[in-house]
């Protein structure tokens, strides 16, 4: 019986570790500046935890077998504990936990607490049931006023976010359902939601942040590879949550300028 | 201990109703809780089965249930999560096993307040009936997930099921909170006051320690959730704006202003994080006790285990901070809370669908 348990415990340990080691279901390819740091932190955490997991399960299997009932032949010993061991493994766990968090929090904080670069592209992201809209401030670099009572989701784009056209700053604002960003340039995001909480999630950018009604949340990230990436909503937001997604097109600076100019021309 | 003996010495009840339905006996109440949880677990499993069936045959029209539309799926998910977390994970380990075994393990004649014990079970039962009723009202069961994030849960036009169904969902949880508060008081008093002579706190079986700490967590957490639920009901039905800022739903400006969706997250997770430990601590206690009993050895490091259970309870409350950190910007706080939160956040979340 002891041997069967040992085999079962070790097999479970082997198979559950295998899928991580073989990276069967792993992160999608990362294409932002933060990827290296986040993926490294992720890998370090998995390797350390994997080591602890395998060691603990290995010992569990071994002990179940080694200390099985061997009849009355062996002499019984009773232990009430070992303070030194208790202190050592509690301290090691605490160090591991706090250490990993001290390592990880600067990476996490970098996109949040540090202000965006001066040359970054400002984009306002608005989430609503069940679409994402992206607003670019145009040549004046200023976002125009929006009014809740002007919001008309069925009309889409500028009307959906309630752009007040009487404000001079809003004249050159461009609102689209597809996000365009220049490669290797930081984007300064302002996240908003008009009805319920949504979450702006771009796995390839290693980026996820809730958009909360009543708040304007500032974050920034830098795409580093030209390509098309899916934007998903990662916070349950109602019956259309499953289909609330958009596209992020990361293009060269030149293509980005052309795209903005074309959108501006369309507007006039 | 003459007083407790006098209070608790009572003749065996006569008649079916007193004996099996409105019983004051901790063992009968324990079994009642256990069977309630058993019914709830089958309901919850049935709901998850429907979700699986939908994944395999997305277009299938099922007998009685009909077609599983996106909103039906979200209702199934919400009700599955809520029923499992509240009526199974919270009910069986504490109300069921705790009521049955705790007095026996500390040498008490019964729980400290037998009538309160009976009331807490029947209040839980009413809460269960209330949540099941949400399936049968106009609009059906709510779709806001088991965490019921406002404003999705606070606006009746944010989706199907967010009308009467959502009101019933919140009411059920509020009733459940009342029941759990009564239960928690009973457990704490019993452990503190009804231990047999010589049964000191540091001699308690680890199961009793786990139920005791769980009861303290419940006492602190369910009170907050109860008030959160009442505020949510006010927002939904009396036009207050605790959780709702100025929002526009489908082009329609709602008459709310100035509320904070984060307030709900604070209050909810002040319950939600300890809830993880309310669900797991009794199981940890039982595992320790069973291993020690059947290997015929004393607990390895009994004192360390007691302190660990206390620490789990304390840290369990500290992890309430993270949602705030995820939503907003609090650099110093985030480091404290993240250190504490590693691996706990989203452990229970059904939101990542």
Choose among B285, B278, B284: nearest CA to B102: B285
Same domain, A67 and A131: no
Q: Please judge whether B70 and A239 are an interchain contact, meaning their C-beta atoms are less than 8 angstroms apart.
A: yes
Q: Please judge whether B149 and A236 are an interchain contact, meaning their C-beta atoms are less than 8 angstroms apart.
A: yes
Using an 8 Å CB-CB cutoff, list chain B residues near A148.
Answer: 246, 248, 253
Across-strand partners of B344? none
Using an 8 Å CB-CB cutoff, list chain B residues near A162.
Answer: 248
- Among candidate residues A77, A112, A147, the one where a domain is terminated: A112
Closest CA of chain A from B115, distance in Å: 40
Same domain, A106 and A179: no
Same domain, A143 and A220: yes
User: Who among A83, A113, A195 is closest to B151 (CB)?
Assistant: A195
Same domain, A212 and A238: yes
Structural domain for A258, as ranges: 121-267
CATH number of the domain at A155, please: 2.60.40.420
Same domain, A34 and A152: no
Q: Please judge whether A101 and B342 are an interchain contact, meaning their C-beta atoms are less than 8 angstroms apart.
A: yes
Closest CA of chain A from B70, distance in Å: 6
Q: What is the average pLDDT value for chain A, to the nearest integer?
A: 92
**Domain tally, chain A:** 2
Rounded to an integer, what distance in angstroms lies between the CA atom of residue A214 and that of residue B254? 13
A80-104 tens-digit pLDDT: 889 999 999 999 999 999 999 899 8
Residue B55, both tokens? 């994944």
Using an 8 Å CB-CB cutoff, list chain B residues near A154.
Answer: 251
Same domain, A145 and A233: yes
User: Who among B145, B300, B328 is closest to A236 (CB)?
Assistant: B145
Look at residue B9 in the predicted model and tell me its pLDDT. 62
- Among candidate residues A58, A83, A112, the one where a domain is terminated: A112
Residue A66, both tokens? 């080694």
Ranges of chain B whose pLDDT falls below 70: 1-11, 320-353
Closest CA of chain B from A207, distance in Å: 12
- A64, closest residue in chain B (CA to CA): B295
Rounded to an integer, what distance in angstroms lies between the CA atom of residue A23 and that of residue A46? 11
Mutate to test the interface with A, among B73, B140, B151, B152 (most CBs of A within 10 A): B152
Across-strand partners of B248? B253
Q: Does B65 touch chain A (CB under 8 A)?
A: no
User: Who among B158, B304, B339 is closest to A195 (CB)?
Assistant: B158
Across-strand partners of B61? B67
- Among candidate residues A71, A91, A112, the one where a domain is terminated: A112
A69: pLDDT strictly greater than 90: no
Same domain, A169 and A236: yes
Q: Does B298 touch chain A (CB under 8 A)?
A: yes
**Contact, A185 vs A32, CB < 8 A?**
no
List B residues 302-341 in contact with A (Cβ-Cβ < 8 A).
302-304, 326-329, 331, 334-335, 338-339
Pairing between β-strand A227-233 and β-strand A245-251 as defined by DSSP bridges: antiparallel
Residue B135, both tokens? 């399936």
Rounded to an integer, what distance in angstroms lies between the CA atom of residue B253 and that of residue B270? 31
Measured over the CA atoms of residue B280, residue B282, residue B285 and residue B291, the dihedral's sign is negative
Same domain, A150 and A249: yes
Using an 8 Å CB-CB cutoff, list chain A residues near B352.
Answer: 234
Same domain, A129 and A66: no
Mutate to test the interface with B, among A101, A159, A213, A216 (most CBs of B within 10 A): A213
Rounded average pLDDT over A211-240: 95
Rounded to an integer, what distance in angstroms lies between the CA atom of residue B206 and that of residue B193? 18
Q: How far is CA B211 from the centre of its chain?
A: 14
Of all helices (H) and strands (E), which one includes residue A179? strand A179-182
pLDDT band at A226 (very low <50, low <70, confident <90, very high): very high
Query: Cβ contacts of residue A154 below 8 Å, gap of 6+?
Result: B251
Closest CA of chain B from A211, distance in Å: 8
Q: Does B74 touch chain A (CB under 8 A)?
A: yes
Closest CA of chain A from B345, distance in Å: 14
Look at residue B246 in the predicted model and tell me its pLDDT. 94
Closest CA of chain B from A197, distance in Å: 7
Across-strand partners of A175? A135
Look at residue B335 in the predicted model and tell me its pLDDT. 47
A33: pLDDT strictly greater than 70: yes
Using an 8 Å CB-CB cutoff, list chain A residues near B249.
Answer: 129, 195
Same domain, A127 and A251: yes
User: Who among B143, B247, B304 is closest to A239 (CB)?
Assistant: B143
Same domain, A44 and A69: yes
Q: Please judge whether A113 and B331 are an interchain contact, meaning their C-beta atoms are less than 8 angstroms apart.
A: yes
Q: Please judge whether A81 and B246 are an interchain contact, meaning their C-beta atoms are less than 8 angstroms apart.
A: no
Closest CA of chain A from B346, distance in Å: 12
- B323, closest residue in chain A (CA to CA): A210
Q: Does B196 touch chain A (CB under 8 A)?
A: no
Same domain, A166 and A250: yes
A181: pLDDT strictly greater than 70: yes
- B350, closest residue in chain A (CA to CA): A236
- B300, closest residue in chain A (CA to CA): A81
Rounded to an integer, what distance in angstroms lies between the CA atom of residue A242 and that of residue B70? 8
ipTM for the predicted complex comes to: 0.90
């Amino acid at each position: 019986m002891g041997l069967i348990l040992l085999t079962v415990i070790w097999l479970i340990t082997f198979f559950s570790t295998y899928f991580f080691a073989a990276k069967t279901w792993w992160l999608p390819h990362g294409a932002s500046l933060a990827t290296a740091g986040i993926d490294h932190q992720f890998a370090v955490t998995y390797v350390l935890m994997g080591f602890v997991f395998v060691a603990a399960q290995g010992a569990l299997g071994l002990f179940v077998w080694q200390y099985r009932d061997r009849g009355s032949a062996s002499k019984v010993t009773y232990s009430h504990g070992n303070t030194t061991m208790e202190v050592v493994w509690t301290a090691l766990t605490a160090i591991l936990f706090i250490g990993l968090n001290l390592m990880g929090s600067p990476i996490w904080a970098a996109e949040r607490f540090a202000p965006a670069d001066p040359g970054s592209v400002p984009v306002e992201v608005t989430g609503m049931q069940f679409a994402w809209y992206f607003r670019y401030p145009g040549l004046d670099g200023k976002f125009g006023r929006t009014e809740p009572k002007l919001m008309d989701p069925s009309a889409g784009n500028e009307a959906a976010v309630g752009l007040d056209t009487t404000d001079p700053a809003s004249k050159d604002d461009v609102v689209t359902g597809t996000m365009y960003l220049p490669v290797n340039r930081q984007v300064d995001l302002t996240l908003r939601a008009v009805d319920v909480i949504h979450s702006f999630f771009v796995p390839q950018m290693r980026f996820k942040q809730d958009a909360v009604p009543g708040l304007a949340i500032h974050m920034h990230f830098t795409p580093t590879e030209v390509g098309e990436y899916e934007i998903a909503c990662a916070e349950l937001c109602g019956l259309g949550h499953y289909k609330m997604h958009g596209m992020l097109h990361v293009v060269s600076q030149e293509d980005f300028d052309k795209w903005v100019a074309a959108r501006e021309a369309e507007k006039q | 201990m003459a007083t407790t003996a006098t209070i608790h010495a009572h003749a065996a009840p006569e008649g079916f109703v007193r004996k099996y339905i409105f019983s004051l006996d901790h063992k009968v109440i324990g079994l009642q809780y256990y069977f309630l949880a058993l019914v709830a677990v089958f309901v919850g499993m049935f709901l998850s089965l429907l979700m699986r069936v939908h994944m395999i045959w997305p277009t299938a029209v099922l007998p009685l249930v009909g077609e599983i539309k996106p909103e039906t799926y979200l209702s199934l998910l919400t009700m599955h999560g809520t029923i499992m977390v509240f009526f199974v994970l919270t009910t069986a380990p504490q109300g069921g096993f705790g009521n049955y075994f705790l007095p026996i393990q500390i040498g008490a004649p019964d729980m400290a307040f037998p009538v309160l014990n009976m009331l807490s079970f029947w209040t839980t039962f009413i809460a269960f009936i209330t949540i099941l009723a949400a399936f049968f009202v106009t609009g059906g069961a709510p779709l806001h997930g088991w965490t019921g994030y406002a404003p999705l849960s606070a606006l009746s036009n944010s989706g199907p099921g967010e009308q009467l169904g959502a009101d019933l969902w919140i009411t059920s949880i509020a009733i459940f909170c009342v029941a759990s508060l009564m239960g928690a008081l009973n457990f704490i008093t019993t452990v503190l006051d009804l231990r047999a002579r010589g049964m000191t706190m540091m001699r308690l079986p680890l199961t009793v320690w786990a139920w005791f700490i769980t009861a303290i967590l419940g006492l602190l957490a369910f009170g907050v959730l109860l008030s959160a639920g009442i505020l949510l009901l006010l927002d939904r039905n009396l036009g207050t704006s605790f959780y709702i800022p100025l929002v526009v739903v489908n082009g329609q400006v709602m008459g709310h202003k100035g509320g904070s969706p984060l307030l709900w997250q604070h209050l909810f997770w002040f319950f939600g994080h300890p809830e993880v430990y309310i669900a797991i601590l009794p199981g940890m206690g039982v595992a320790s006790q069973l291993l020690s009993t059947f290997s015929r050895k004393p607990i390895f490091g009994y004192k360390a285990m007691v302190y660990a259970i206390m620490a789990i309870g304390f840290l369990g409350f500290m992890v309430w901070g993270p949602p705030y950190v995820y939503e907003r910007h609090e650099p110093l706080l985030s480091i404290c809370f993240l250190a504490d939160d590693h691996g706990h956040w989203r452990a229970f979340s059904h939101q990542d669908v």
